[in-house]
Structure formats: C-alpha cells, structure tokens
Structure 1
Amino acid sequence: MFNFFGDPNKKFLNKLQPTIDKINQLEERFQSFSLEKLKGQTDKFKERLVKGETLEDLLPEAFTVVKEVSKRALKMRHFDVQLLGGISLHQGKIVEMKTGEGKTLVATLPLYLNALTGKGCHLVTVNDYLARRDVEWMGKIYYLLGLKTSVLNHEKSYLYEPKANGRETDLGSGEELREVLRKEAYQADILYGTNNEFGFDYLRDNMVYDSEEMAQRPLNFAIIDEVDSILIDEARTPLIISAPAEESADLYYKFAELIKHLKENDPSTSSGQGDYNIDEKMRSATLTEEGINKIEKWLNMGNIYTEGGLQMVHHLEQALKAQTLFKKDKDYVVKEGEIIIIDEFTGRLMNGRRYSEGLHQAIEAKERVQIKRESVTLASITFQNYFRMYQKLAGMTGTAVTNAEEFHKVYNLDVIVAPTNKPLVRKVLSDRIYKNEMGKLKAVAEEVKNLHQKGQPVLIGTISIEKNELISELLEREGVTHQLLNAKYHEREAQILSQAGRLGAVTVATNMAGRGVDIILGGSPADSVEQEKVKKLGGLHVLGTERHEARRIDDQLRGRAGRQGDPGSSQFYVSMEDDLMRVFGSERMKNIMERLGVPDDMPIENKLISRSIETAQNKVEGYNFDLRKHLLEYDDVMNKHRQTIYKKRKEILGLSKAASRGLRKKILEMVENEIEQVILFHTAGETKETWNLEEIYEVVNTIFPLRQNDRIKLGELRNGNKSEAMESRTKIIEYLAALAAKAYDKLEEKIADENLVHQLEKAIVLRTIDTLWIEHLEQMDYLRTGIGLRGYAQRDPLVEYKEEAYKSFTQLINMINSQVVYSIYKVGLAREIAPSAMQRTARMRIMAPAKTMEKGKGEFTEFKNGKSPMEGQGYEESIVSEKVRDQSGHKIGRNDPCPCGSRKKYKKCCGK
C-alpha cells in the first residue's frame, strides 16, 4: 500500500516551504496597497495568463493578495499551514486538516487562483446550510477582488452582492444574497453548493430540449469539503431522477400485514421452526420453506413464484426487508405522516429522499402511513463518475488517511496530512469495555454526572436517535441538565453546538455533531473568563457511547475536542452487545468476557478485546470498500452508455441551433442507412431473381410515401443492369435515398415554417432518444439484478454483464435511428409533439427556479439511491394533457395505432 505517512508526506511538505516563504515575503509589499489597487491585481493576473504565464507562476502573488484582503475584510490571516493546504489543493490533492484549523478559509486561496482562468470553480459541501454560510462568510473576499460568487440551494440559487451602504450584516441573514436563475449562478467565477445539487443539475442538463436551458458549464475545478463523506460514505448511493409510475398501494399494505405474523428462525433450535432468516452482515432477509408455505396458504396459492409472478414475489421480498432490516428511529423516523430516512453516517434527516425498488413504499405500509407512488428512472449517475468528470479535483477533510488507498485507486487523488498550527494536546483515553449494554449506559450516565458537577463540558456521541434518546432519559433520572441533538432537532444544530463548550454544558448528539459547526470553549461568542475556567478543567470531553463501523466517524467525533491547541479529551465506552461487536466481532471475545466473570457495570481494559474492535472495523471497512468498488465496476459500464447518449443529445441540440440545416442532414443520413439495411436484407440471395423487391417497396413505403411508378422503377433498376449485383443494389439505394430527400423537401413545404421544422426535427429525435434511453435504464437495472446468478454457472458476472450490456446498447442505438426514420415523415400529422417525461422534469427548475414548489404541485422526483429530495411532488395530471389528433382531425385513443408510423399502440409510443 502506498504510504502517506512519515517521509513521503514530510518530503512533499518540505518542497512547498520555499513557496510559502515567498508568499510571506510578498506580504509586506501588498500591505501598502489600497483595496481598489488589490482588486486591480485580478485583471492584471488575467492579462498575464493570456500572455502565456501559468497559474503556478501567479500562485505566490495571488495567494498573497487573498491573504491581505482576508486580513482587512474578515480580520483573519492565513497561517503557514493554511497556505500549505491551499497550495496542495491547487495541485489536486486531498488535504487532511484537523478540526478548527480553518479549512473554510484555506479554500479561498486555490478558488481565487483557479477562478482567474474564467472557467469557473466549484466548492462542494455536504449540506445547504454550510454552502450558504460559507458564501456569506468568504464571499466578501472574492467580492473585494472583483470576482462573482454564487450559491446553489435545493430550491433556489443566489448571487453574492453586498449592500451598497457597507453596513455589517449578521451571518446567515441572507441580506447580501440576490436570488438568480440557476444558469446565472453557474456563470459566476466561484460557486458553492452541495454534491446533490451539482449532480442533479448535470442530469437535468442532459434532459433539456433547448441548449439555452442548460445551466452547467464544462466541469473545470472542484474542491470537495468533507471529501471522505461525499466520495466514500455516499459513493454507494447513485443520484436518480425519477418520474411517478403506476399505483400499487394495496399489495404493499397486504404483505406488510402478512409479514408481521411471521417469526424469525432461531438457529439454536431445531431447523424449520422459524419463517425467515436474517443476515445482518449482508443486510439481507430470506424466507424459509416454512415461511413460504405460510404465505402461500394465507394467499390461497399453490406456488407464489408461478401463480403470483414477479410482482407478488417482489412485494413479498420488500415487505420482509422493511419489517426485519429497517428499524424506526435508527434507519428512519415517522414525521408528519411521512417516512424520512436518517443518514447512517451523519445522523441527519434526509428530507425527501426515498429508498428505491419499492422498499420505501414497503416501509410506509409497515408504519401504516400514506403510500407514495412508485417511480421509473429517467436519469442516474454515481458521485464517483460525476466527480471524475472534472478537469481537476481536490478535497479537504479532518479524516482522510484511513481511506488513502481508496482515494488513490478510484480517484487518483493523493492524501497530504497538514500539520496543525498549534500542537495538539488532546488526550485520547483507552476504551472502557463492558460486558453488556445496560452496564455500559449506566456507567456513561455516572461519568457524565461527575464531569457535569465538576463543570467540564461534555459531548456525548451516539450512533442512532434511539440510543440518543435512551441516554437522555438516563441523564434526566440522574438530574443532569443537557441538550439533545439529533435529526429530529436538526434546525437547532448550529445553536446547540456553538454552546456545547460552555462551563457545565452536556450535549447528547448523534453523528451529526462530527462535522460542520466548531465547538468553542466558553461558548460562542466566547467569554474569556469562562473559557479559561473550562481550559483549567481539561477542556471539552468527548464521550463516545459506541464504536462506528468506520474509524473515520470515530475520529471525527474525537476531533471535536482539542481544536487549535485547546485542551480536551476523548474516550469510548464499548460493550460486547454493540452492533459492531455483535455482528462483526468474534465469539471468542464474548466467551473471554463470560469466563472472566466480570460484573455488568465493571469496565475492563483488555488489549485482545481492543484489538478485536479494530479488527471488526477493518472487516467492515474492507467489506464496504469492496461494495463501492463493485458498484463502480458496474456503473463504469453504464457510464460509457450515458456519455455516448448525452453526447448524442448535445450534438442534436447543437445541430438544431446552428443556422445550417445540420439536423436535416443527420436525419437523412439515418434514413439512407435504414434504406440500405432494408435493401441488403431483402437482396441477400445469390441471384437477382431471388430479391424481394415487393417487401423493399412495402417497408420503404412505411417510411415515406412511394408511388406505384416507384415499384416499377425498382424492377427496372434490378433488371436493367446486367453487371454485378452490387452495382444494381447501389443504384436502388441511391434512387430511394434521392426520393427520401425529395419527400423531406415536400414535408418542409407542407409545414411552410422553417423554424417549426427545426423544432419538430429536434423534438422527434430527442424524444426518441429519451424514451428508449429510459427503457434501456430499466432493462439494464433488471439485468444487473439477476446477473449474479451466472456465478453459479462458473461465469464471471461482471464479464457477462459487460457482454450483455454491449448487445443491449448496440440494439438501443439501432432502435433510436430506426424510430426516428419511421417517425420523421409523419410530423405533418401532429404539429405539436407532446413533451416527454424528461423534458418536463428538466424544465421544472428552469421555468420557476426561485419558487418553492408546493407539495403535490411539482412533477418529478430526484432520488439518491432511490431517495428523492422532491418526493411528494408528482404531477397527478397525464404527461399528454390534450389528446393528439390524426391527419383527419380524429382524436387518437391510447390503444389506437400511433400516427408516427412505428406500428406500435399510441400509449406504447408517442403517448407515453
């Protein structure tokens, strides 16, 4: 494994020292500059770039200018370690900086430098609050240097424009932000936003029907804040934009009720006593033979797999998962009649996100709340493939080294550990290990009570809302006044954490306390007298009540104490009944505890048990790495498909926009290719006499109208040439291609509006691409679900998937060309093409980007692993709001033949 510690890291840092020295030397020169003169440096830097200098040449001066403006505008001076971090970020590396070392300020250096190119820079954060806070905070630096800064939020986007009167405004007041369209926000030099918003905007841009509606520019440079959270924790979670599908609520309720009457199989008893088995390591649940028999009996079926079909089996499996694997107040909460997912890594509520493949509906049925409609995927991408599209990528976090190997292998990003500005004096105490959970929790309550009486502030970390509230109850019994922070009270997060360092403060928090707002000793704003008292007591004490599956999450919690050289301490309380030890720990450790006869409330310190905790974490991290790698291998296949289709769409948008008749030329090429394929197929015989000219005539006649004379002409072209069959074939192709061009001319004359012709051409081609692409996504999803079974036949599922995917994609391209050809000459039948699901979805943000959509009034849903930030906003109206009429003016029914000539039913073709 590549070693990021010791010499390689030190060697890299030493290389940067001369640059840091140069920046510090330049500081004296720029101190005498007025703000106006400092602002003028931006234009000078841009001119120097045009003349051939590089960003590396400008770096020392550009960093010094930012440093000087920061001192004047924010009263914050960049330390040397922050300059080091800024240089590393500019070089496209991940920088690990401990909590409180000023990552937000560090980012201003490389963002300003790279924004000088005019290609745009993105700062990616984990939530809307941080994105907006950082723009309001750091935006002043960019503004004073003449750069535009904007921020993307879930429903709105803003441009940073301070008030002209120059008065101070409260951070978070929003007074310096002007609401703008999405596209204008992307035109800014520096753009802050969440990973979800950037990803979804990319997908929406590839669903529009007019290039003017595209928001994003080519992806240039991005710095990802909390990079481990976004590129590691959320890597298994694809972004999905989805539209509502058919209703099927009754079956969900039915199976939710049936599953409640089943009981889990107990391995300690004789086989066949239970109805289902649970594998917590694999997060799977399967019915036993006994369980299947019961379900079939209750449903009055002989065999659910043959009589019920895939739909019944699917509902059964999802109901079983919902009942056995997903726990209320751990995996989700029920709030105002809705199921809201809890992020397992941050502990935050993921409002609007939904599980995919009917699992969310199954949980809704389990909790007896209203079931939202299922969905069909319109577009999807993983964060891994989205962020790899940037020309240059960098990241910051407090915990990256534990995943250095994955960053290097997947993203080709090296991790650099920046030293702290002041020596770290935090004490990391040994784990206290208990036999069972209740003994551990009682000890936690007792320890917190003692520290509270002493006056030392305590931050208690829990891994779920359930445990969070349990500890809160225990503290109440002990008479300890405390603040409770979990996903249910997320709106008070900043306020609670900002005061968690006060004298005698006790804060019980989930993982959401691990990132974001700094905990300042003495509270915020800091009271110097109180701050000194807290320091003398030992600073903030972080008490973890359970080890997380990932060491990084534990390190993040520890990192809340001891910021910027402050005193602090951290300790974890662990029991052998904790999820990590129960699922991934060894039986041997449990047996040792039993043999030692340790009382429930007595802690032990045993190196063997401590090592087993680390081993369990290593197991989980290795398992999760394999899952992410596995996801990426499969998504890489789909990524090639996605890039090809999106490139094709952009090409069509470009051709339709051009003054030349590029799209007409492209369509006629498709027509000629289709004619050629038809002719080659029906003239495959060895002699000309076997050629099926009648079938050629009939097929081409379905593309564009032929005359009776053309039938005769085909015979003449075949018989009139005594030479090779190849030449006769070519003449027939050329003749029909010429007729196709003439028919196209007549079509244009009939419509008599060149602009309308362009619009219809574009609409037909894009609609065909979109409709078939959606079907392809669904088909590939089915393929991927079942491909693992091929492993039983000693075949590599990934190789099989690639082969099947290639065949499917080749078929998709052929079908796109074919459907365009068989539809294009029928455009005269319907002057307006009904908007596709994609078109309407993409337009939602563009047409009204500044309006908060009311529930039930939006149209389509965006999912993250099927978890939609816009769920409940599904249009109830049909996609085609008014029935299309055929050439004679009659309304076309859903089961009538489609007027486009595809020979499909209208509901299966243009009426989708």
Structure 2
Amino acid sequence: MIRDRVRRGLQRPGTADLGHHRRPVRAAGEAEERFRRLTDAELADAARSSAPAMTGRRSGEARTEFCAAARESVRRTCGVRLFDEQLYGVLGLLDGLVVQMATGEGKTLCGAVAAAGFALQDRHVHVLSVNDYLARRDRTWTAPLTDLWGVSGDWIEQSHPAERRRSAYATSVVFGSATEIGFDVLRDRLVRDVADRVLPRPDVAIIDEVDSVLIDQARVPLVLAGSATGTAFDRALTDLVTTLRLGTDVRTDAEQRNVELTDRGVNRVEAALGGIDLYTEEHAPTLAAVHVALHAEFLLSRDVDYIVRDRAVELVDPTRGRVAMRQRWPDGIQAAVEAKEGLAASATGEVLDQTTVGGLVERYGTVAGMTGTAVAVAEELREFHALEVAVVAPHRPCVRDDLPDRFSDTGAQRRDAVVARILQVHEGGRPVLVGTPDVAASEDLAAALRGHGVDVAVLNARNDGDEAAVVARAGEPGRVTVSTQMAGRGTDIRLGGVDGTGPAHEQVVADGGLHVLGYGRHTSSRLDDQLRGRAGRQGDPGSSEFFVALDDDVLTRFGDGRPRAADAERASAPVSAHDPQAGLVVDRAQRVAQADELQVHRTTWNYHHLLDQQRDRLLEHREQVLTTALAADDLAERYPGQHAALVAAHGADAVTRAARLIRLHHLDRRWSEHLAVVAELREGIHLRGLSRGMTGLSPLDEFHQDAMHALRTLTTDVDRDTGDAFAALDPDGPLEPDAVVPEPSTTWTYLATDTPYGSDAERALSGLVRVVTGRDGGRGPGWSAARIVLGLA
C-alpha cells in the first residue's frame, strides 16, 4: 500500500487512484436489500436520476444510487450479481480511465454498465471491441439491461449495409469493432451529400481489450481504396529469387527486417536478367522490383506471416495468430507474395483515404477502456493517448501456480519435451491449453500429440471462425487444446465445460484446474501474461509454464548470445531443464524487444500524427464546402460572368450544387494523390540519414518539412482545378451531378500492414542502400539509382 502511494505521488503510469469510490461502493452494498424491493420501473427511475448527477456536487450520493441500481438491474436482467470490484471498474470507466481487471472478472459487463451510465447522461457511446463476433455477442447479452433502463442500443458488423449502420448509430450505445467503425469514418469523409453519412459526431468511446486495440492495432492503417489500373508483378523475378541461396547470394539482418543481395547475388541476378547493370538509372525500377521479390521470398513465411486459403493470401495477426481480416500488404509486396504462391493477383487500387485506429480514437471527447494487461503498456497509453490506468484487485485472490520456464537447446528438443509434459498432465485428467507462436507450430505439435493417441482441438488462422466455441470447451476434463498465441480472448474458459458447474467442474477443480503451456515466449511479456491469465479465473485452481528453445526468435533476434548454462555439458540433453541463467537471458531479450516496439510505436505515431493533422485541416474545409454555399460563392467571385450565365440557365440551387460537387471532387482527388506522394516520401525518408550532414535535419524532420510543402501545393492545385472545371461548364449543357463530375469509383476497405520505419516496400528497398553503398563506395552510380528509385533525386 505504501509503495502504491509513493508511485501515485510520483505520477507513475498505472497508478490512478480509485480510493475515492470506496464510500459509494460500500454504501451501495448497504442499500442492496432496499433496491431489491423496487419494481423494474422504480429501478430504471433510480438509474436515470442518479447517472446525470454523478458529475455534480452530490456525486457521492448519486454514485451510491447508481451502483445500487446497476447491481440489482444486472441481477434481474443478466442473472449475475456485480461484485464490489466490478463496481469499482464501472466507476473507473465513468471517470475516463483504463481499468485493469484480471481475466474472468467481468470486464465486459462493467463496460456495458458504464456505457449505459454515459447514455443516461445524454452521451452517445461507442463500445469498441476487437472483432465483429464480440460486438454482436456483447450487445445481445447486455441488451436486457439497457432495455430495462430505456437506453437504445445496437451493434454493427462487416456485413451490415449503410442503412442498417445508420439506424444503429442513431441509438445511444453502439457495439462494433474498432476497424468497422474506422471504415465508416473513412466512407463518411468522402460523401457528397450530408444525407449519405452514417455516423454521428463522436462522443464517448469505451474500448474492450484496450491494449489490443490501442497498442497492437493502433498503428495499422485503415484504408479506403478505389478502383485503378495497376502494373502486374513480374513473376519471372519470383522464379529468379527462388534460385538464390541465403548466406551466399542473399543475407538478412538479425531482426529479419531487411534483406539484401551479396556481391555474388548481384552478379547472378544481373546475369539472369541478360547482363544488365542494376545500378543504372535505366534499371532502377528493376532493382526495386528485385528487392520486393526478395522480401516476399526470404522475410515472409507461409503459415507464419500468412496462410493461403480459398486460393487467396490471408495475413496472420502476429499478436493473436488469427487471420487479420481484410488486411493486406502494400500492393508491391502483396503481389510478390501472390506470385510466390502461384496465385492470381488480387485487385489493385489507389488509396482514397486512410486513418489509424489510434487516429480514430483521438476523435472522441471521452475515452475509457478495460483489459487484463494494461499496466504493461501504461506508459504508451499515457504518452500517445493521454490515458491513465487504474488497477482493480481481483474478487478472489489468484491461486494459479506459475511454474518456472523450462529450456531446451533446439526447437526439436522443445517439441519432444512439450509432448511429454502434455501427456503427463493429460493422464491426470486435467485440461491443457497450449499457446503456440504460429500456424505451422500448432499443426506440428498437434500431429505429434495425435501420434500418441491424444485427441487434440486445434485453433489457428485456418479455423478461426470456430474460436469462441473451441475455447469455451477448453476447460473440459482431459481436453487438450492447441491454439496460436492468444486463445479466445473475450471468451471465458470455465472449469468443467461451458457451464462451469456440476460433477465435471468439481472433477477438474479437484484435479488442479486448467494447465496453460506456452510454446515459447513472445517478444512481449504482456502477451505471455495474457496466455497465463487463461488459467486461474476468479480464484480457480490452475497452473502455467513456458517451454523455451534457445533458438527461438525472441533470443536470436533480441538476445545478446546463448545463456552460459547452455554449454557443451547439456547441449545434447533430450529434455528441457530449469535454468535460472537462461531465464534471465530470455527476460532481457523480451525487455529489448519491448523497448524496440515502443520506439517503433513512437516513430510510426509521429508519421501518422502529422498525416492526421493534415487531414483534419482539409476536413474542416471540406465540411464547409459540404454544408454551405462556400464553393459557389468563391466561384461567383472569381468567375462572375460564368456564374451569372449558369444561374440564368439552371437556377441558383443547381449551380450551388454543381460548384459543391466540383470542389469536393477535386479535394478528394488531390488528397488521394497527396497520400501517394507522402507514402513515397516516407518509404525513402530514412535514406536521408546517409546525407544528414547536407541538411542538418533528422529523417522525421525532413518528412514533416516535405509533407507540409506537399500540402500547400495540394491546396493551390485544388483551387486551380476547381476554377478550370467551373469555367469549362457549358451554360447550355446539362448540370446534373453525373455530367459535372465523374461518378465515384467502386471502393473497398482493408487494413495495410505498417512497419517500424515506413511501409513494407521500404523495408524491401532499404537493403538496396547497403548493396549500393557497399558496391560503389557510398556515392557511385548505384547511389544515384537508389535516390531515383526512392524519389530522393
């Protein structure tokens, strides 16, 4: 307690205080019997009268009334009683905090009660989740509560048409995935008539699994694309790079972020392409395409980074091991991977608009959230989103037994050790949940277990649609579930089965509960903690342990060498062993990886933040154009004769509408082109570090400078294009919308991957610099070619 007070006094992240809620929560308990005697109507009245008063001078009394009304209302409608800890969570959310509550403590229900509380304050609330399934489930489950209080609500999902979305957003509490709401924001930004919008003005966001949404997804661009003709990827380059050998023709860096040709590789590629010199201006595009093909071949792995399903490439979310719905790489990388897999090229297009989940959340006036692992990212939540974290103690103490890590020298030894351990636990009748890093590992382990006669339920990107059903059964006696990374987050694992009651429950409890086994450590300890948290729900028994191979990625990429204990004496050991020294090395590698990820977040946030600021400036102008006669007034002043002739022929209203459409069309057209320019700029900006002495600016500063110059050029171009189009209108011709501007192109939405220092295309091209500088001494013809390829010349 003293340590917590000191940390709060120092304003350390994760130390927001909920102590001032103790009195109203305690008083709500004392009033519980009184509220049980109220009718449904009286309960609703109590909630409706107390919620608005929670921000006033009598807020303490109002909080007591609201908590007591919420507890009894939830008991009647959802069949559960809110614990005091859940009431702390509700009040923390209403304070605009991120609330950390352990797995199984009822975070989702807290979010629904807080959302209804905001709605009773006449606020409009969006409850953001990680996927469509959870949005639909949570709305359906909590609808009786909001119905009792007279609060309207709904949910949205990917399949809903515009009218369905519009009606949902008109309610007070809307459940939806962060990406779906983000895509609606993008579509609304490009409407040509106010009536076509679906979203109201953003007000309150409550984010379920806030670390997943604001940390893992925050920097992933949400993209609205339009139809466009693209250049097909040269599949001959795919065939060529498959003949190259890693180590002799190609090398990669330790972090597996960049790939480059060796001198021998350069000679082989140039010979295969007819004896050309890749480092001339003429062949610079070919050099760039070669590096994109190398990136697809050597840095992206099937069943790790993506799967192939229904003759299409589907990306895998690295933090969850599930398909990242509608996500794709930038067109060059996407096409190269499709060529690598022998698949037809998917549709290409131009980016019409984009945002990030982080940028989406910044639109809301009030943001709150809940998760089981917020403290680990409290610094980032404060730095990027000005959010503070409060920790709510569990209702019952956690009695899970977290066993020491067990180590093997190789992945093959680790697999044998894991199989042996699962067989041991399985023989005792306990359920086992295994978290693996990727699809390939999950299927390899499942095959090994089946070879020993174990019936295994496998959950990975190939069958992620069954996730909730598979995970809900993971607590059954003797059940073995092998899942990629984060299994069924948002779905409870109840001991004994779905209901968590009866003889099966008692048997599993007596046997020791769920055993969670981690198949290697993740680069983030937060994700390891999430996996551990699947066991020990609400005081249930359980245990967890991790099996680590010393050739795992987290050690080879971020470690500083093999642990001293892993020496010749035990190099041939066939089973894993406890090793404190190895544990220290793994912990340090994770800290290095987490620091690297934090720097990645800072870097990408800086780039996206500038773009969001630019977009906000244009959107302010676009809103004026959309809702007023600004465009017509401006053109009347600039072209009075043309304006008068058009008004005489078609009427003032028709001319105002035509002027508006023209201005909107050219604003949107130039913004799309601006995004392409900025993307090219960002892809090559870090090459500026090689010539920093010439400018004295960092790559980020140069990016800001050049991006702002591009924006000023954009506004000038829009003014010119609008004027030219207006002046070209024929007073005797038609003035219908389709005759004034082209019809909007067919659009679709997707998520683009993002990377530490730009797009994946830049990663593919960044290796080019080392080849160029190594071959030409730093500033030869290859240097000029590289600058041309990356738009720096």
- Cα 1:555–1:802 change in 2 (3 A) is same
State which drifts further: 98-107 or 826-835.
826-835
Letter in 1 for 2:620: K
- 2:718 is aligned to 816
Between 1:522-531 and 1:3-12, the stretch displaced more is 3-12
Distance of 2:223 and 2:52 partners within structure 1: 42
Q: 1:130 to 1:837 in 2, by over 3 A?
A: farther
SS state at 1:241 partner:
strand
Q: CA deviation at 1:253?
A: 1.4
Q: What amino acid does structure 1 have at the position aligned with 2:37? A: S
**Alignment-derived partner of residue 748 in structure 2:** 861
Q: How much does 1:303 deviate?
A: 2.1
Contact 1:227 1:396 (8 Å CA) reproduced? yes
* SS in structure 2 at match of 1:504: coil
* 1:572-721 superposed matches below 5 A: 572-589=546-563, 592-656=565-629, 662-669=630-637, 671=638
Indicate if the aligned counterparts of 1:239 and 1:865 stay in contact, CA closer than 8 A.
yes
Q: Name the counterpart of 2:137.
A: 133
Going from structure 1 to structure 2, the CA distance change for 1:818 and 1:760 (only over 3 Å counts) comes to same
Shift in Å at residue 39 of structure 1?
3.0
Structure 1 residues 56 and 817: CA distance shift in structure 2, 3 A: farther
Among residues 229, 245, 262, which one is paired with 1:263 in the alignment? 245
Partner deviation per Cα, 1:725-765 (whole Å, 9 max, x = no partner): xxxxxxxxxxxxxxx324411221022x3332222111101
The alignment partner of 1:62 has SS state of: helix
If asked which structure has higher relative contact order (CA below 8 Å, sep 6+), I would say 2
**Structure-2 separation of matches of 1:23 and 1:49:** 14
In the alignment, which residue of structure 2 is the partner of 1:239?
A: 222
User: Counterpart in 1 of 2:643?
Assistant: 744
The match for 2:200 among 217, 234, 243 is 217
CA offset digits 1:772-826 (Å, max 9, x no partner): 1111111111111122122222231111111112211111112112222222132
SS at match of 2:628: helix
Is the 2:406–2:579 contact (alpha carbons within 8 Å) kept by the matching residues of 1?
A: no
Asked if structure 2 preserves the Cα contact closer than 8 Å seen for 1:59 and 1:113, the reply is no
Instruction: Check conservation: 2:256, 2:299, Cα contact below 8 A.
Output: no
Are the aligned partners of 2:47 and 2:70 in contact in 1 as well (CA < 8 Å)? Answer: no
User: Do 1:301 and 1:307's aligned partners in 2 also have CA atoms closer than 8 Å?
Assistant: no
Aligned AA (2:679):
D
Q: Secondary structure at the match of 2:577?
A: coil
Match of 1:124 among 106, 128, 131: 128
The 8 Å contact of residues 100 and 373 in structure 2, kept in 1 or not, is answered as yes
Residue in structure 2 matched with residue 146 of structure 1 by the alignment: 150
* Letter of the 2:225 counterpart: S
* Corresponding residue number in structure 2 for 1:735: none
Closer, same or farther: CA 834–290 of 1 in aligned 2, 3 Å: farther
Q: Deviations over 1:511-543 (max 9, x none)?
A: 241512111101012342121111111100001
Report the secondary structure of 2:155's partner residue: strand
User: How far off its partner does 1:479 sit?
Assistant: 1.5
Offset of residue 237 of structure 1: 1.1
The range that moved more, 782-791 or 133-142, is: 782-791
Q: CA deviation at 1:476?
A: 1.2
Mapped partners of 1:824, 1:49: distance in 2: 55
Say which SS state the counterpart of residue 827 (structure 1) adopts. coil
Q: 1:840 aligns with which of 744, 766, 779?
A: 744
Residue 762 (structure 1) aligns with: 660
Question: Once the two structures are superposed, what CA deviation does each residue of 1:810-859 show, in whole Å capped at 9, x if it has no partner?
Answer: 11112112222222132235534549999736xxxxxxxxxxxxxxxxx3
Whole-angstrom CA distance in 1 between matches of 2:741 and 2:157: 24
Query: Cα 1:642–1:56, aligned 2, differ >3 Å: closer, same or farther?
Result: farther
CA distance in structure 2 between the aligned counterparts of 1:815 and 1:341, rounded to whole angstroms: 38
Q: Distance in 2 between matches of 1:743 and 1:603?
A: 83
2:414 paired with 1:468:
no
Q: Indicate conservation of the 8 Å contact 2:682/2:703, yes or no.
A: yes
Task: Give 1:245's aligned amino acid.
Answer: A
- Could you tell me which residue of structure 2 aligns to residue 338 of structure 1? 312
Out of 421-430 and 528-537, give the one that drifted further.
Answer: 528-537
1:831 to 731, 735, 742: 735
Q: 2:7 and 2:150 mapped to 1: Cα distance?
A: 41
Q: CA deviation at 1:227?
A: 0.8
Match of 1:188 in 2: 171
Q: 570-579 vs 344-353, which deviates more?
A: 344-353
2:347 corresponds to 1:373:
yes
Read off the aligned partner of 1:556 and give its amino acid letter.
Answer: Q
- Deviation, structure 1 residue 311: 3.7
Letter in 1 for 2:748: T
Alpha-carbon distance change, 247 to 489 in structure 1, aligned in 2, over 3 angstroms? same
Quick one: which of 668, 688, 696 aligns to 1:790?
A: 688
Q: What residue is the counterpart of 2:24 in the other structure?
A: 19
Counterpart selection for 1:108 from 86, 107, 112 = 112
Which residue of the other structure, out of 694, 697, 704, is the alignment partner of 1:802? 704
Q: Any idea what the Cα deviations from partners look like across 1:451-481, whole Å, max 9, x if unmatched? A: 1111111111111110001111111121222
Q: Determine helix, strand or coil for the equivalent of 2:566.
A: helix
- What is the TM-score with the length of structure 2 in the denominator? 0.89
**Which of 285, 303, 306 in structure 1 is aligned with 2:280?**
306
Aligned partners of 1:838, 1:19: CA distance in 2, in Å? Answer: 61
- Report the CA distance between 1:558 and its aligned residue: 0.4
Deviations 1:619-651 (A, max 9, x none): 111111111110111112111210011111111
For residues 666 and 45 of structure 1, the distance between their equivalents in structure 2, rounded to whole angstroms, comes to 51
**Structure 1 pair 586/344, CA: closer, same or farther in 2 (3 Å)?**
same
Q: Quote the offset at 1:115 in angstroms.
A: 0.9
CA contact (8 A) 1:122 1:222 kept: yes
Please give the secondary structure, in 1, of the residue aligned with 2:495: coil
1:181 partner SS: helix
SS state at 1:350 partner: coil
Match of 1:172 in 2: none
**Counterparts of 2:471 and 2:479 in 1: how far apart (Å)?**
10
State the distance in 2 between where 1:155 and 1:100 align: 30
* RMSD of aligned residue pairs (Cα, Å): 2.4
State the one-letter code of the partner of 1:557.
L
**Which runs of 5 or more residues in structure 2 are unaligned?**
9-13, 755-793
Change (3 A) 1:503 1:835: farther
Q: Is 1:384 matched up with 2:358?
A: yes
Q: Percent identity?
A: 31
Alpha-carbon separation, structure 2, partners of 1:32 and 1:823: 71
Instruction: Kindly provide the amino acid, as one letter, of the partner of residue 747 in structure 2.
Output: F
2:173 partner letter = I
Name the CA shift for 1:244/1:747 in 2 (closer, same or farther; >3 Å).
closer
TM-score (norm 1): 0.78
- Residue 252 of structure 1 and its aligned partner are, at CA, apart by 3.3
- The whole-number CA distance in structure 2 between the counterparts of 1:256 and 1:804 is 34
Mapped partners of 1:437, 1:564: distance in 2: 34
Larger Rg computed on CA atoms: 1
- 1:101 Cα shift? 0.3
- Tell me what 2:42 maps to: 37
Q: Which segments of 5 or more consecutive residues in structure 1 lack a partner in the other structure?
A: 158-178, 266-273, 657-661, 672-739, 842-858, 868-912
- Measured after TM superposition, the shift of residue 59 of structure 1 is 3.5
Find the aligned partners of 1:835 and 1:80 in 2 and give their Cα distance.
64
State the one-letter code of the partner of 1:620.
A
Shift of 1:248: 2.7
Tell me which moved more, 464-473 or 310-319.
310-319
Supply the AA of the counterpart residue of 1:799.
D
Which one-letter code corresponds to 1:65 in the other structure?
A
Cα gap change, 1:332 to 1:833, in 2 (>3 Å): same
Instruction: Say if 2:431 and 2:475, in contact at 8 Å, map to a contact too.
Output: yes
Alignment of 1:267-666 (within 5 A): 274-306=248-280, 308-513=282-487, 515-589=489-563, 592-656=565-629, 662-666=630-634
